A = this chain, B = another copy of it.
Amino acid sequence: MGKEPNGNGLLRLRRVDIDTYRENVGYLHRECPVYRAEGFQALSKVEITTNGKTVLALLNVVDDEAIVAPDELGLSEQAFDQLGVEAGAPVRVAQAEPPASMDAVRRKIAGERLTEEDFHAITRDLVHNRYSKMEMAAFLVASGQTGLDRDEVLYYTRAMADSGRRLDWHEPLVADKHCIGGIPGNRTSMLVVPIVAAHGMLIPKTSSRAITSPAGTADTMEVLARVELSPERLHSIVRKERGCLAWGGTAHLAPVDDILIAVERPLGMDAVGQMVASILSKKLAAGATHLLVDIPVGPTAKVRHMRQALALRKLFEFVGDRIGILLEVIITDGRQPVGRGIGPVLEARDVMQVLGNHPDAPPDLRQKALRLAGRVLEFDPDIRGGHGFAIARDILDSGRALAKMNAIIAAQGGLEASPGPSELTHEVTAAQDGVVVGIDNLQMNRIARLAGAPMDKGAGVDLLRKLGDPVRKGEPIYRIHAEFEADFRFARGLAERDSGYSIGTTEQLPGTYVDF
Contact = CB atoms under 8 A, between A and B. Distances in A.
A484 B2 CA distance: 5
A488 B25 CA distance: 30
Contact of A133 (B27, B132, B144): B132
A241 interface: no
A263 B135 CA distance: 9
Contact of A17 (B64, B77, B111, B269): B64
Interface stretch (A55-63, A340-348, A364-372, A506-514): A55-63
A487 B67 contact: no
A176 interface: no
Contacts of A311: none
Given A133-B133, A141-B137, A487-B3, A18 B266 contact: no
Interface string A11-32: 0000011111111010100100
Contacts of A231: none
A486 B145 contact: no
Contact of A63 (B23, B30, B77, B110): B77
Interface in A478-493: 483-487
A381 interface: no
A109 interface: yes
Interface string A133-144: 111111011101
A2 B485 contact: yes
This chain: how many copies in the complex?
A: 2
A19 B60 contact: yes
Nearest to A37: B484
Contact of A135 (B66, B137, B262): B137
A431 to B, nearest CB: 28
Interface in A17-51: 17-23, 25, 27, 30, 39, 41-43, 45
B133 A267 contact: no
Interface in A96-143: 98, 102, 106, 109-111, 132-138, 140-142
Interface of A: 1-4, 16-23, 25, 27, 30, 39, 41-43, 45, 60-64, 66-67, 76-77, 98, 102, 106, 109-111, 132-138, 140-142, 144-146, 262-263, 266-269, 455, 483-487
